[in-house]
Amino acid sequence: MDIADIATREYVEVSADERLGRVRSIFERENPKGVLVTDSEEYAGIITQRALLQSHVEDSTKAAALAESAPKIERTEDVRDVARMLIEGDTKVAPVFESGELWGVVSADGLLRAVLEHLDALTVSQIYTEDVATIREDTRIGQAINLLRERGVSRLPVCNENGLLSGMVTTQDIVDVVVRNMDNPTTGERSGELDRMLDLPIYDIMNNPVEAVQPDTSVQQAVSRMFEYDYDGLAVTPHGADTVAGVLTKTDVLRALTHTEEERLDVQITNVSLLDTLSRETVRERIEQVVEKYGEMDVHHAHVRFHKHKEKLRGTPLIQCQIRIRSDRGQVAGTGEGYGAQSAFHVALDKLERNVLELKGIQRDEEYRGQLLRKLGEI
């Protein structure tokens, strides 16, 4: 299946000279996944909600200053390849070209709607993300923004004082509260109002009750629920419990669409443009080496995410790298930082290796305990 019938000519476009104040008002009014930026009618980039949230640029700044690159997709591309490009470009919308001319856009939602009927073959347990960051009800909005930036995620489950799931806060929730006030002056009294807003507890803006799914729910049902409530992700909770087992997002589903039956390890890289002296093949080989070293672990998929911080050392940006592998033994991750993608990747890889060892050690302890209990039962 290609995207010829999935891509659309309906999209929001602004000139590179447009002021960011108007772009922010567009997001408030129309809530698009992204806004295309053009310069002399030529595609120049895309502005996302996340970029606006993380930006402290004045409203008088031109849109071109915040435009980010996104993968350029041909209208006849295969759905699986487009899903991979959206993931690697870390975007939910991308420009579509036909014969070298900007034709329209394709979105993650458009892809998922097109394949929805086929998603009943998967269950949430096969693709959701475990070991997610959570926050408490009394966490301040400013702290939540920092955590969203650090983790490079778009949502955080909220737990009450007993550790039970009580809400969910997303980038969009914070945009609704904070960004809508950013077109006002932020000096003097206004600045104080913004500071007080960032000091509010997350309880005041979180979504409640929370839409949650169980691990054995079909992905088709989960995605249908996302569309019904206009959510990009759902909490995953064990049966009969209100604790957080993880999160299922539309990105997790897109990632599943790219899985192949190749004998080699399938590795996806988000923000692939940040690779410097690293190559895709090197990333794959190093992860395979860690996996193969410890044997008896069938790894289905690996995801590597790079995130660039503003800090630099002699012109080289500080990079965060997260490696997550999904195997028959569960999910294992490793995170690290360094100046340049190669340094960050090596730190994350070392952490991944330690976590793989720890996982196998725990499982060996459980196997030994099970054997011991069986022997005691025979006495």
* Residue ranges of the chain assigned to CATH 3.30.160.100: 261-370
CA distance 294 to 307: 28
**What is the CATH T-level fold of the domain 13-119, as seen in this structure?**
CBS-domain (3.10.580)
CA distance 144 to 22: 26
CA distance 149 to 74: 31
* Residue ranges of the chain assigned to CATH 3.10.580.10: 13-119, 122-253
Instruction: State the residue for tokens 């054997």.
Output: 371
**What is the CATH T-level fold of the domain 261-370, as seen in this structure?**
Double Stranded RNA Binding Domain (3.30.160)
Looking at the structure, give the CATH architecture of the domain made up of residues 122-253: Roll (3.10)
SS3 for 164-207, per residue?
CEEEEEEHHHHHHHHHHHCCCCCCCHHHHHHHHHHCCEHHHCCE
Report the predicted TM-score, pTM, of the whole model to 2 decimal places. Answer: 0.74
| pLDDT by 10s per residue, the chain, length 379 | 778 889 999 889 999 999 998 998 898 888 787 899 999 888 999 998 777 766 667 888 999 998 888 889 999 999 989 998 998 888 889 999 998 899 999 999 999 999 999 999 999 999 999 889 999 999 999 999 888 877 778 899 999 999 999 999 998 788 777 655 544 544 445 556 667 888 899 999 999 888 999 999 999 999 999 999 989 999 999 987 889 999 999 999 998 888 765 566 788 898 888 988 888 889 989 998 888 876 667 777 889 999 888 899 988 999 999 998 888 777 888 999 999 999 999 999 999 998 888 876 655 444 444 544 454 445 4
